[in-house]
Each structure stands twice: as C-alpha cells, then as structure tokens.
C-alpha cells in the first residue's frame, strides 16, 4: 500500500485535526533516508519498576556475589548483558534501546542505553552516542541523571549505564495539581502536591539548566515530560539526546540538511522539518526558525518560560495538533496572555484562579520574542523563582499562625454570647428582688454576675492573644493580606463600639490602627475599600415633602464661641433629595415654600449613615409644611423623625444610647410661664374640675412619702389661683417659667 492509499484510509477514520498531523508525518517520512532514521537522537524514557524487580524499601546486600535479580525459587538462569544481569526491556528510541540491568558488583539496578547494531558503522551515530554519554557524565549535578559506566558489549554495541528513574513526569503532576483547583484556589492533592511544591520543582530545573549552561551545554528540548520526579521527591532533567555543546559542531545538524522535531502532543512520534530541532510548543522563536547559529542560554530560558506557562495555566503556550501550524505561530506570534487562557477555560473555578503576579511577570520575561529581553541565564531566572518561593514559604508560616487564631476567635464568640446571657438573667432576677432581701435570695444571681465577669475577662485575655498572633504572623510576612484583613475587621469593630460608647481615647487608638492596616492591603482588596470608606464616614440624606416646589437649603452646625451654630453651605433646589452625599456631622435642612411656615429639619449623619426619614415600619414619612395661620404666635413646629437619647455616662442612671422615633409635634417656643399655668388651673376650676386643679398645682416637696407639700399658689375668695409671696417674702413674676411641678403636671 503506497502513501496515498494510507492517507485515504486514515482520512475515513480519523478526525481532521488528527489526520492533518499524521499526513504531515507521512509526507516527511517519504523523504527520510536510512541515515536520517538511524541518526535520530534517542531520548531517555520514564522507568517504571518492572514486575521482576526487587520490591520493598530495604537495602539488599549480596556479599558473596550469588544473589539473583529474580526470585531464587524459580530456578531460572540469570540472563547476562556484558558484565551486568539483564532484568528486562524498558523502551527504545531512534538510536537503540534501554534495558533494566543489575550491577552485580555493587548490587544495584541501573538503566542501560545500548546503541543499535546497525548504527555502529556510522561515524555520526557513534559520535553522537558518545557525546551524549560524555555530556551527561560531566554534568555532575543532583538534578541531572548521572552516568555510571560506558563501554562496549561483547557483540560490539556501545552502551552507557545511568541511574534508574522511578517516579513520574512533571507533566502528570501539573495535571493533577490543576485538577485539584476549586473556587479559584490551588489545593493540595491527595498525594501531597501543592502549587508551591510544583514551583519548587521548577526552581530545581532552573538550577540544573543553569549549571549545564555554566559548562557550555544547551539542552534544546526542555519540557515537563522531560522532567522526572522520583518517589522521594528527587527532580531529574532527562533526555539530553539533542543537547548542544557550545563551541563545537552540532552533530545533529551535521548529520544532514533535515533534522528532528518532536510532536507538540509530547508523544514519542517524530518527524522532520528543515533545520529545526526540538518540540514546537516549547521552542524559542530562533530555534523554530532553524537559526542554529543564534542558539544560546536564552534559548533554553525561553523553553523554561514555556514550561512555567503550563505550570501556571495548565495549558500549552502554543496549543495545536498540526505541527507546522504550531511552528508557524511560534515563529511569528506571541503566546496568549495567561489571564486570557484562564478566562476562556470552561471551569469557573479555573477562570477565577489567583496566580502570583511575580511568576506571571517572570514567565512573560522568559518568553520574550527577543533574546536580549529574556533572563540572560537560567540561573538568573531561577533566582527570581527562589525569591518567590522564599516569600511563599514565609507566607505559609504566617498563614499557619493566622489559622491558630480561628478556634480562639470562635471561643471568644461563645464566651461573649454566654456573658450577655448571664448578665441579662442576673439583671432580670435582681430587678424583682427588694434591696432588703437576704443574701441567700440574691446569691444565685450574684453567682451569674461573677461567672459573666470571669467570662468577660477570659474573652479579653484571648482577644489579646489573637492580636499577638496576628502581629506575629506579620513578622514572618509583613504584607500578608489575611492578617491585615483580620486586623482591619477587628479594629473596625473596636472603633464602632468605642465610638458608640463615646470613648474618645479608645476610638482614636482603634482609628490609627485601622487606618494603618487598611493602607497595607493592596489596592484591589475589597476589605481595604470598605475600611477606608468607613473611616471617611461619608453618608447621605434622602428627603421628600408633602407639598411640591419646596426650596431646600443646607446648613451645617459649626462651633462658634463654644456654641454650635448653623451655617448655610448650599442651596439644594426644589427637587426631592435622593441619597444626597454628606460627610459625618450635624446639619439642618431649611424647607421654605410660599404660603407655608418655614420648617427646620435637623439631620445627624453618623458614620456611613443614610438618613432617609423612614419610620419604624420602613415607610418614608414626607415632611409636613404647615400652612400660614396653622401655628399661633410663639408656637414651633417640630417635624417627625429619629433622635438619639441616652448614652451619657456622666449622667446619673443614664439609659443606654438608642434611637427613638418621634411624630410631628407643635410646642411653645419658650417655657410655660406662671401666667400660662395659672390660666390652665383656673380653666379647670371654671370647668368644675377643681380636684384636678389642686392635684396639678405647684407644691413644696413633702416631708413624708405620698404626702402633698404646701401649695405655692394662693387662692382668692372666689377660688381663683394667683401668685403669692414665698416664705422668704419673694413674689414670683407672672412671666417667669413655672416651677415645682411634676412630670404628670406637665403632661396634664
């Protein structure tokens, strides 16, 4: 069957995106010569533990040299390959095969790479094989696979042995870490892999590549599938099959005018395109253009950037299944920004993934189109990654401290709740007990008060401990958002309580710390914006009237000669006010309309408060403007609304601070005078209600409980009330305010 028949058959069974890639491979295959096929570089493979390998985690000793790599009870002879025991086939590549062998002298398992017999007569093939072995042997670094032996087998084949790799590729780990992303955050996988650990692996790769560069060696095929992570966390950069020694002839290029390019799908298939060597999705532009004379450390740096791109986003920088298309985009286009790749993802949790900006910037720099714009060396790139890792480690330490505060704060919450309940029970219980009752009757409530006090003190102690822990977290990482956010919330609550209780000192203390920790948060942080808005204290006022066309003037109360006086600051026009912004403070809205009495509407804007004139039921009450003539001389109209009362700690037995709704009232502009009160009492007498008049008359304080004191008004012969001289001979004035009346008298 010729190539055209193969293509026709494949087109019928394969999707277009896959068939195009295969057709390109087939067309290239037609042009290959035997020399081309035989000189393709081999690639180290992932070495999984074979079934017949030694199991367990103990060290095997073979002091007499008789130990077999196979179970002794089988009785089978041990196959030999040179001076090694042959434990089985592992894989093969273009230059030969890889087998698992046992070094009988040191009783250890190794991987043996063997050159294909057909290539022994080809100088380029043997030279390339020897160069790969020598390069890897001289790159003595913990993150590069060590070469243990090189030689010739009895049948003439060249070989070298290297460390057996047990583990998995970085590619599979990247997939598992991204698969564990939820709610826009990385989480630790079931087998213990985290995002920071992934970056630590990448840092080790940078170190290994930086070391190779210092020895004059380029890898040229860096990608996650060529990074192996061992069972115990060891990181190894493998597949140095197309490495280039700077300053020497490139044997792969020298082998012919067409050279190897590995599929962007990262499988084991290979094809050829011009003078291009490597994997398209991870190639630098100069490498993709076949400019082999321009390759240098910056070329590997670009590949490292492409590797970091996949670690961060979970996607290739240049995805695709058609090799030529991918290669063309690498040559001419910049990769899509990582944020764009995430936003186009199907999963909402991935699209909201929060990635470190430092790593995104490092990735972008490493993948710059121009070589001079990239990191000059892999070592420099690695130093940037290390700086982030050290910061991430400090963050983890700080976060561990922050997490310690969570159960403590939960305990504080329980204590505070129990404290309030105990105080309420004690207060209610004691209020029903007379002061002269015995201690036995009161003791149960006293015990509750004592328990409440102890709880409060314990909560205060724990509160200080939380504060200390959060400050300790900031010593590990001064810009830890979580710690600053928690402190912002705590100081905001402290500030609210202190301001409510008119505690000036505590309010100032909390405000200073709140301002500091809010400013330490990044600009985009929502908690920062809420805190700064809270500190600014801006509020608003909404108001409507029961008549239209009302002129509204805004006045602010300012201090003048130690008195608060209204100062007009704005003419708000005739439209109803809807959330008109105002700073914290006391104001007065003056409402004026022709044919109506002017109305003064006082407004107090608390911190962030919206004064909307809504009553207890949430209904916005329109402000009433009395018509001219509705009010008598000396009367004042007070529009309904909220007012603050209580909370004055300097007042005797002051009520707690609260807001009270008061409906519209009309009251005298000045105090009730003796003249007016006499008219009230005499009107009662004229109405036949003399008993009530006597009850409400001003009196001296009585000497005994429930006894009436001496009346301070005189009655004439007709029973009318009138002023009289006091015991000291003073005669009250008719226009003085009335005195010595009770609250009940005033209400009457």
DSSP code string of 333-385:
-PPPPHHHHHHTSS-HHHHT----HHHHHHHHHHT-SSGGGS-SSHHHHHHHH
The pLDDT of residue 13 is above 60 = no
Token duo for residue 462: 């724990």
For 163, residues 6+ apart whose C-beta sits below 8 A from its C-beta are: 110, 111, 145, 146, 148, 236
Nearest-angstrom CA–CA distance, 186 and 205: 22
pLDDT digits (tens, 9 = 90+) for 357-403: 899 999 999 999 999 999 999 999 999 999 999 888 888 889 899 99
- What H or E segment, with its residue span, contains residue 26? helix 16-31
Give the side-chain half-sphere CA count within 13 A for 537: 14
Question: Is there a contact between 300 and 282 (Cβ–Cβ < 8 Å)?
Answer: no
Query: Can you point out the beta strands (E) in 198-355?
Result: 217-218, 227-230, 235-237, 244-245, 260-262, 270-272
- Side-chain half-sphere exposure of 653, counting CA atoms within 13 A: 0
Q: Are strands 610-611 and 539-543 parallel, antiparallel or unpaired?
A: parallel
pTM of the model: 0.57
Query: Which of 69-73, 117-121, 389-393, 446-450 has maximum average pLDDT?
Result: 446-450
Q: Tens digits of per-residue pLDDT, 464-502?
A: 999 999 999 998 888 899 999 999 999 999 999 998 888
Model confidence at 252, pLDDT cuts 50, 70, 90, reads low
Euclidean distance between CA atoms 323 and 265, whole angstroms: 9
C-alpha span between 239 and 224 (Å, rounded): 11
Residue pLDDT, tens place only, 319-359: 888 888 888 999 999 998 888 877 665 544 555 678 888 99
Beta strand 167-169 with 227-230 is: antiparallel
Strand segments (E) across 269-329: 270-272
Secondary structure element (H or E) that encloses residue 499, with its range: helix 481-500
Q: How confident is the model at residue 729 (pLDDT cuts 50, 70, 90)?
A: confident
CB atoms within 10 A of CB 141: 18
Q: Which of 497-501, 543-547, 612-616, 724-728 has the lowest mean pLDDT?
A: 724-728
pLDDT category of residue 31 using cuts at 50, 70 and 90: very low
Nearest to 274 by CA among 591, 548, 36: 36
Asked whether residue 506 carries a pLDDT value surpassing 60, the answer given is: yes
**pLDDT, tens digit (0-9, with 9 covering 90-100), for 182-211:** 877 888 999 899 999 999 999 999 999 999
Q: Count CB neighbours of 239 within 10 A.
A: 24
Q: To 10 degrees, what angle do helices 504-520 and 481-500 make?
A: 160
Cβ atoms of residues 675 and 734 within 8 Å: yes
Number of neighbours of residue 354 by Cβ within 10 angstroms: 9
Asked whether residue 642 carries a pLDDT value surpassing 70, the answer given is yes
């Amino acid at each position: 069957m010729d190539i055209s028949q193969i293509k026709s058959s494949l087109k019928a069974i394969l999707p277009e995106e896959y068939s195009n890639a295969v057709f390109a491979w087939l067309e290239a295959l037609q042009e290959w010569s035997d020399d081309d096929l035989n000189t393709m570089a081999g690639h180290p493979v992932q070495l999984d533990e074979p079934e017949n390998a030694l199991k367990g985690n103990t060290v095997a000793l073979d002091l007499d040299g008789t130990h077999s790599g196979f179970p002794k009870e089988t009785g089978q002879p041990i196959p030999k390959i040179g001076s090694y025991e042959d434990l089985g086939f592992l894989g093969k590549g273009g230059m030969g095969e890889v087998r698992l062998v046992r070094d009988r002298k040191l009783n250890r398992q190794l991987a043996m790479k063997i050159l294909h017999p057909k290539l022994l007569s080809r100088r380029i093939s043997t030279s390339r094989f020897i160069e790969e072995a020598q390069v890897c042997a001289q790159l003595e670094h913990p993150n590069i696979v060590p070469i243990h032996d090189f030689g010739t087998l009895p049948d003439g084949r060249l070989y070298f042995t290297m460390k057996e790799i047990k583990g998995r590729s970085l590619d599979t780990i990247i997939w598992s870490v991204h698969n564990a992303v939820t709610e826009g955050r990385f989480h630790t996988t079931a087998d213990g892999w985290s995002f920071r650990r992934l970056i630590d692996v990448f840092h080790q790769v940078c170190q290994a590549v930086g070391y190779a560069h210092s020895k004059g060696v380029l890898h040229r095929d860096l990608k996650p599938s060529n990074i192996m992570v061992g069972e115990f966390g060891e990181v190894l950069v493998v597949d140095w099959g197309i490495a280039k020694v700077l300053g020497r002839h490139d044997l792969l290029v020298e082998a012919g005018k067409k050279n190897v390019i590995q599929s962007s799908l990262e499988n084991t298939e290979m094809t050829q395109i011009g003078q291009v060597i490597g994997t398209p999705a991870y190639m630098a532009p100069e490498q993709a253009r076949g400019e082999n004379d321009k390759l240098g450390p910056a070329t590997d740096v670009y590949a490292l950037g492409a590797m970091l791109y996949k670690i961060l986003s979970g996607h290739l920088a240049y995805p695709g299944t058609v090799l030529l298309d991918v290669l063309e985009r690498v040559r001419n286009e910049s990769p899509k920004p990582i944020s764009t790749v995430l936003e186009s993802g199907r999963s909402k949790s991935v699209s909201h993934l929060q990635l470190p900006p430092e790593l995104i910037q490092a990735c972008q720099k490493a993948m710059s189109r121009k070589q001079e714009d990239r990191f000059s060396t892999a070592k420099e790139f690695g130093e940037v990654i290390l700086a982030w890792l050290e910061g991430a480690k400090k963050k983890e330490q700080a976060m561990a401290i922050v997490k310690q505060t969570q159960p403590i704060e939960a305990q504080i919450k329980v204590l505070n709740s129990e404290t309030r309940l105990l105080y309420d029970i004690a207060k209610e219980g004691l209020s029903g007990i007379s002061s002269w009752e015995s201690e036995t009757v009161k003791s149960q409530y006293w015990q509750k008060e004592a328990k409440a006090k102890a709880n409060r003190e314990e909560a205060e102690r724990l509160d200080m401990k939380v504060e200390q822990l959060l400050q300790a977290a900031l010593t590990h990482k001064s810009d830890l958002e979580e710690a600053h956010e928690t402190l912002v919330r705590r100081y905001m609550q402290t500030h609210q309580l202190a301001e409510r209780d008119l505690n000036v000192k505590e309010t100032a203390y909390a405000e200073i710390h709140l301002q500091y920790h809010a400013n330490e948060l990044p600009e985009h942080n929502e908690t920062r914006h809420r805190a700064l808005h809270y500190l600014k204290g801006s509020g608003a006022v909404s108001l409507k009237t029961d008549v239209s066309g009302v002129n509204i003037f805004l006045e602010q109360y300012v201090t003048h000669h130690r008195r608060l006086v209204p100062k007009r600051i704005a003419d708000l026009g005739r439209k109803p006010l809807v959330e008109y912004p105002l700073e914290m403070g006391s104001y007065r809205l003056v409402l004026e309309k022709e044919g109506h009495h002017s109305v003064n509407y006082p407004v107090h804007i608390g911190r962030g408060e919206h004064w909307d004139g809504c009553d207890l039921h949430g209904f916005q009450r329109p402000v009433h403007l009395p018509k001219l003539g509705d009010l008598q001389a000396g009367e004042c109209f007070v529009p309904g609304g909220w007012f603050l009362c209580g909370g004055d700690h300097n007042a005797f037995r002051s009520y707690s601070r609260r807001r009270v709704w008061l409906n519209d009232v009309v009251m005298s502009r000045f105090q009730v005078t003796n003249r007016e009160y006499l008219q009230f009492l005499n009107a009662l007498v004229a109405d036949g209600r003399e008993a009530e008049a006597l009850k409400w008359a001003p009196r001296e304080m009585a000497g005994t409980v429930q006894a009436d004191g001496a009346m301070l008004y005189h009655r004439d012969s007709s029973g009318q009330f009138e002023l009289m001289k006091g015991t000291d001979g003073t005669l009250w004035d008719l226009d003085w305010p009335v005195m010595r009346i009770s609250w009940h008298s005033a209400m009457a």
